Amino acid sequence: MHVLILSSSPNRDGLTAACAAAAAEGIRQAGAKAEEVRLNDLDIGKCHACGQGWGSCLKEHVCQVQDGFQALHSRLREFDAFVVVTPVYWGEASESARAFLDRVRRCEATQGEKSAFLDKRILAVAAAGGTGNGTVTCLLSLDNWIKHVRGRMFELIGVTRWSRPYKLVAIHEAACAMVKEAAVK
């Protein structure tokens, strides 16, 4: 089993990075391969809403904006499950997460039964390092995204700087459980 961890923080040593590391450790402990992609390290711009709001993504399921999106999007079918880890900014996912996830949604949501995410387990983590406010609304957006791309929400975990110690354990355990459940399938 091969699990993709999408992390989207510019901070390599913060709460989001710790959450991604906890997920990777849980995945490996369960005997699967974990691969992390840091979205901030890629050149992925925002959706341009081409044409009348639906460019080639509607029928061809590819984004016509040429940047780092295409290489990662083309690899999504290689993975058996996903972990999305984002910091919470103003009650939303980070800008790098939103840029990638919005473009993926436009390409995958209209594919129906052919979506790269169809019935694949997705663990989503919202890491609020500041006040902790906005964690729930961020998770709600991630839950909606999972539904749109036809993934299977395995777990939604909100983390604040105060809940960090026990939530890192929860992320580790959830990632491990996700791999084990998928193996039984």
**Number of structural domains the chain divides into:** 1
What pLDDT is stored for residue 41 in this prediction?
96
Residues forming beta bridges with residue 183, ordered by sequence position:
none
**Contact assessment for residue 146 and residue 153, using Cβ atoms and an 8 Å cutoff:** yes
Nearest C-alpha neighbor of 7 from the set 40, 42, 38, 46: 38
Residue 65, Cβ neighbours under 10 Å: how many? 16
Residue 47, token pair as written in the block: 């959706």
| pTM of the predicted structure, to 2 decimals | 0.96
Give residue 121's domain range. 2-184
What pLDDT is stored for residue 93 in this prediction?
97
What pLDDT is stored for residue 55 in this prediction?
82
Domain of 116, CATH number, reads 3.40.50.360
Instruction: Specify burial of residue 103 (Cβ count, 10 A radius: 0-12, 13-18, 19+).
Output: buried
What pLDDT is stored for residue 185 in this prediction?
64
Bridge pairing between strands 121-128 and 152-160: parallel
One-character DSSP codes across 59-118: TT----S-STHHHHHHHGGG-SEEEEEEEEETTEE-HHHHHHHHHHHHHHGGGGGG-TTT
CA angle 169, 73, 84 (to 5 degrees): 15
CA angle 50, 52, 56 (to 5 degrees): 50
Nearest C-alpha neighbor of 86 from the set 99, 71, 104, 70: 99
What pLDDT is stored for residue 155 in this prediction?
98
Q: Which residues of the chain have pLDDT under 70?
A: 185
